[in-house]
Amino acid sequence: MNIINTLMPNFERLSEEFFECLYQTMIMVLVSGTIAWVFGIALGVTLVVTRSGGIMRNRLVFNTLDRSIDVIRSIPFIILMVLLIPMSRFIVGTGSGLEGSFVALVFGTVPFFSRQIEQVLSEIDGGLVEAAQSMGLSPWEIIFSVYLKESIPGITRVTMITFVSFIGITAIAGAIGAGGLGDFAIRYGYQMGYRDMIWLTVIVILLMISIFQFIGNFIIKKTTH
């Protein structure tokens, strides 16, 4: 304990608030991250199967999604959060705080992740898709048994990449009122000059990312043919 007090003299006094902010970040990751992961995969699949030559070709759906994703991706996240305040109020009942950040975090992550998923699914051997079609599999069966099943390593890889980016935007969300580690680092590390609290935040974030990457690498190793 003396070593901790020596290296991080402000930790004992701020530990309760630090763990509260860590909890808020974990909630952002679990709630918004999970929703963004599901929607990102769904949109990525839709882009692949509805494009020209896809198994469910639909030019209107593809063009609408393709352009919408590009537009949202081009908006800086901090501006996107402000633009989505009315939608956040409608969906979760508030446009600020932890709950108010959920909608913006999802919208800020899904476009990037869906593009990553689209790229991964596009690498699937067309021969596998043709073989599945010749066996009489329906489009939905092909999506799950070919596209998604064969892409587990790739999906895991881009999920890890997106997770790192997602942690970054939770810090931005925290800096403008959502709480979390970003808010903690800004208030105590930057505004009050407690350098030890900045280092504590960085170390914890690095640990979170390392654990997630370890799990992801394990999944990739087990699912790679």
What are the tens digits of pLDDT across the range 94-134? 877 888 889 999 999 999 999 999 999 999 888 898 898 88
Residue 11 predicted with pLDDT over 80: no
What are the tens digits of pLDDT across the range 182-207? 888 888 888 887 888 889 999 999 99
Is residue 61 a contact partner of residue 50, using CB atoms and an 8 Å limit? yes
The number of folded domains in the chain is 1
User: CATH code at 31?
Assistant: 1.10.3720.10
What pLDDT score was predicted for residue 179?
83
Find where tokens 């393709």 sit. 66
What pLDDT score was predicted for residue 180?
87
Structural domain for 34, as ranges: 3-223
- Tell me which H or E stretch contains 180: helix 180-184
Residues 6+ apart with CB under 8 A from 50: 56, 57, 58, 59, 61, 62, 65
What pLDDT score was predicted for residue 176?
67
The mean pLDDT value of the chain amounts to: 88
DSSP 192-221: S--HHHHHHHHHHHHHHHHHHHHHHHHHHH
What are the tens digits of pLDDT across the range 56-68? 999 999 999 999 9
Find where tokens 């959502």 sit. 178
Structure tokens at 163: 């997770």
